[in-house]
Chain A
Amino acid sequence: MKNSLKVLRAERDWTQAQLAKELDVSRQTINAIEKGKFDPSLPLAFKAARLFGLSIEEIFVDGE
């Protein structure tokens, strides 16, 4: 699953550690999600969407 987490984070000048802290996950998890190596659960995706003020579909895109 592709996502625009890295772009959204960069636009706000946030580090992975800062985003991780906001989402209550580890920095390694943010890194894995950004690289597409780990797909977040629905609750975590909703949390990220709320944080960025976007819908889930605007951040996460289905597809290989």
Chain B
Amino acid sequence: METDKTELSAWEAETVRNTVRLGFWTFAWVLSLAIATFGPMFIWESGTLFSVLAIAVNLVFGVGMILANKRHLQGLDEMQRKVQLEAMALSLGVGLITGLAFSTVDIVNLINFDAEISHMVILMSITYAISLAFNRRKYQ
């Protein structure tokens, strides 16, 4: 079997395409979120049609990102998919459990600041990154 090391197989090429596609949709979603958030402060006045449109565009890009992520996952090989799904499951569980607990301590006034959704997103992202690194190491 003589295979050129530099030449990508069809599966590898498809994985690269799926990753690039996911990167594009993620970038578009983050950018549209920034525009929807900061637009009313710096570009247009709040409560206008522009805000509605910006949020609608953000939602559309969000759907695109979800579909791109699904396609990316389906394109991975079975071990890569297992690693990703385990990291996602853990970050979802941690986000749900600690997010609701965090919200509750805010409601019953155990903390003197507001529980923001961004805190949960940061926690989920950190959990996902750590879990991914741990799982990759586990199968090395």
Query: Taking the nearest CB of chain A, how far is it from the CB of B89, in angstroms?
Result: 17
Cβ contacts under 8 Å, A38 to chain B: 79, 82, 139
Cβ contacts under 8 Å, A29 to chain B: 77-80
B77 and chain A: residue at smallest CB distance:
A25
Q: How large is the interface on A (under 10, 10 to 19, 20 to 34, 35 or more residues)?
A: 10 to 19
* Interface locus among B5-13, B17-25, B43-51, B54-62: B5-13
Cβ contacts under 8 Å, A12 to chain B: 1
8 Å CB interface, B96-140 against A: 136, 138-140
Question: Would A28 and B79 count as touching, CB distance under 8 A?
Answer: yes
Most buried by B among A21, A32, A38, A44: A21
Query: Taking the nearest CB of chain A, how far is it from the CB of B52, in angstroms?
Result: 44
Q: In the complex, what distance in Å separates the CA atom of A26 from the CA atom of B81?
A: 11
Cβ contacts under 8 Å, B140 to chain A: 28, 31-32, 37
Cβ contacts under 8 Å, B77 to chain A: 24-26, 29
Cβ contacts under 8 Å, B80 to chain A: 26, 28-29
Report if A22 contacts B (CB, 8 A).
yes
| Cross-chain contact of B11 among A18, A24, A33, A44 (Cβ < 8 A) | A24
A9-31: CB near B (< 8 Å → 1, else 0) gives 00010100110011011101101
User: Could you tell me which A residues sit within 8 Å of B by CB distance?
Assistant: 12, 14, 17-18, 21-22, 24-26, 28-29, 31-33, 37-38, 40-41, 44
Closest 8 CB pairs of A and B: A25-B77, A24-B11, A29-B79, A32-B139, A21-B9, A18-B3, A38-B79, A29-B77
